[in-house]
Amino acid sequence: MSKRKNSKPRHTFEVSAVLPPPPAGVCTAYLDDRSTHALATLRMALFALRRVLWADEPPTAAPHIAARLHDATAPISECIWTLTTRLLRHATGAEAVPAAALHDAERAVIAAILALEPVHLVSLANAPRGAEPSRGLHAGDALSLDEAGSLLHEAALEELDAELELLTAPDGTMSLAWAPVPPDSATVALIDPLLEAAEYFTELNELLDFERVAAAWWFDCWVPGVKSRTTTPSFATAARRREWVLTDRPTVTTGKPVVAAFGSAPLNARFPARQAALARAFPKAHSSFFVVRSRDGARTVLEDLENCRTFHVHEHSEEMRYRAGDIAAGRLIPIRKGTFLRSPGMVTYTPDERPGNRSSLRSIWPTIRDGLDEPALAVEALLSTLLLAWPIPRRLEPARSKREAQDLLCDLQNALASAGLRTERRRLADFALDQTIAEYCSALGTQAGPSAVGDLRAGGRPRLRLE
């Protein structure tokens, strides 16, 4: 399968040499010599991880996130996290961190890198020396500065309940800017690095990677506003798609959602506490249509239109404008007994502004919900029906061209073969599929042409045969 492009938002910004007065509620601090030295060690370690994991290829995840999922690099990721949290506590004044504690954390990072297997150390020794890393491995490179900014941002959310950015001045001076956020809002923001890890996890297994691509296509067939595979979905739609693909849909490869692997040993112990808790919470999430019963600042009460169950929800965004009586559609994630988080993909609207109103929704929603096994897809189906009156599921071509469809079928053939699903006569064995994968393979076969694919046989669970 083609690799994803890593499109993480930046958390490192260039500023003037002198910091302007910060906005109300925002704190700033220059990095002192100890913090600057610790940051340089972090950049070196991130550069080393990127070389080990991707060599000269573009990275598809933040190095410290990807490192958690490999036995060889997990110890480095753990040491990097310890150094990062100590750096943050020292630089922000959250805690008095002795100089020895920072130095010990730096030494632990370097020792973990040197403990890599010889083949990885050879890769590091052969690392190119570009204009930015004039001292090679000891300086990291330009990308490692952005990666360090993302790492600091994630750690600040986990450890300090703060949104934090790394600022760099033209003269090389570095500083931090941060603002406190409610703990539950910090947890919502940590959904992104958790799902980034889940996306990278699929890349480690060809069949799982194929399922991720297929599931994203199948979700788009139900989504309002997505007319083709080249359509850029809205932020909320992309968030709902990502959650369904990675946290909701049981995969054929493993029998459970991708993120479920992070909710149990051994991987659960490699994630920071809040992300580990989110991994355990996502399988219990609830997707539906709701009516807003009340909103008081960050506290919202929603009522499920299907069974009138009420949910007490933390609202993480002041910019979300809704009021009592509005309709909300999407996913609620349980974070502790009696409290749920609103998925960033949830949408709200006022019933009078749409063809459907609350009374008709109460009768329509249970019918659509009962007709689909997947609640999240049922949400998309009703949104498409109400907002655009489009028939669903739509028939979207899964590839950008006939040739790409043929290449994707070839990728599937190779993935099945690598999984041992090939007979002595070099025909791929029948591979049991769920509806998502069967629909995707059928659409690929149609687009690729009859000579590229065998038959999708009906009866029971769909099964695929490729020559």
Residue-wise pLDDT for 47-64, tens only, equals 999 989 998 888 999 999
pLDDT the model gives residue 263: 87
Contact in structure between 82 and 102 (CB atoms under 8 Å): no
Q: What is the pairing mode between strands 27-30 and 310-314? A: unpaired
pLDDT tens-place string over residues 372-402:
889 999 999 988 877 766 677 888 899 989 9
Is 172 or 217 the better-scoring residue by pLDDT?
Answer: 217
Is 407 or 138 the better-scoring residue by pLDDT?
Answer: 407
426's torsion region: left (phi>0), alpha (psi -120 to 50) or beta? left
pLDDT the model gives residue 176: 96
Is 435 or 330 the better-scoring residue by pLDDT?
Answer: 330
pLDDT the model gives residue 138: 42
Percent of the chain exceeding pLDDT 90 equals: 58
Is 67 or 359 the better-scoring residue by pLDDT?
Answer: 67
With a cut of 80, say whether residue 70 has pLDDT above it: yes
What's the rounded mean pLDDT across residues 429-457? 71
What's the rounded mean pLDDT across residues 282-287? 96
Is 396 or 138 the better-scoring residue by pLDDT?
Answer: 396
- Which residue, among 165, 202, 194, has the nearest Cα to 65 in the 3D structure? 194
With a cut of 90, say whether residue 212 has pLDDT above it: yes
**pLDDT band at 465, cuts 50/70/90?**
very low
What's the rounded mean pLDDT across residues 235-259? 94
Is 367 or 310 the better-scoring residue by pLDDT?
Answer: 310
pLDDT the model gives residue 366: 85
As to burial, measured by CB atoms within 10 angstroms (0-12 exposed, 13-18 middle, 19+ buried), residue 175 is: middle
Q: Provide the 8-state DSSP code for 42.
A: H
pLDDT the model gives residue 20: 59
d(CA 119, CA 51): 12
With a cut of 60, say whether residue 355 has pLDDT above it: no
**pLDDT band at 79, cuts 50/70/90?**
very high
pTM for the whole thing?
0.87
d(CA 366, CA 303): 14
With a cut of 50, say whether residue 136 has pLDDT above it: no
Is 121 or 30 the better-scoring residue by pLDDT?
Answer: 30
What's the rounded mean pLDDT across residues 243-270? 92
With a cut of 80, say whether residue 196 has pLDDT above it: yes
With a cut of 70, say whether residue 16 has pLDDT above it: no
pLDDT the model gives residue 15: 53
With a cut of 60, say whether residue 467 has pLDDT above it: no
**Highest mean pLDDT out of 10-19, 28-37, 109-118:** 28-37
- Which residue, among 375, 13, 53, has the nearest Cα to 168 in the 3D structure? 13
pLDDT the model gives residue 119: 63
With a cut of 80, say whether residue 432 has pLDDT above it: no
With a cut of 80, say whether residue 74 has pLDDT above it: yes
What integer best gives the mean pLDDT of the chain?
84
Angle at 382 (CA atoms; ends 378, 387), nearest 5 degrees: 150
Preceding amide of 128 cis, omega within 30: no
Least confidently predicted of 2-11, 349-358, 428-437: 2-11
Angle at 126 (CA atoms; ends 121, 132), nearest 5 degrees: 115
d(CA 269, CA 467): 43
Is 60 or 233 the better-scoring residue by pLDDT?
Answer: 60
Is 55 or 134 the better-scoring residue by pLDDT?
Answer: 55
With a cut of 70, say whether residue 426 has pLDDT above it: no
pLDDT the model gives residue 414: 77
Contact in structure between 247 and 374 (CB atoms under 8 Å): no
pLDDT the model gives residue 6: 60
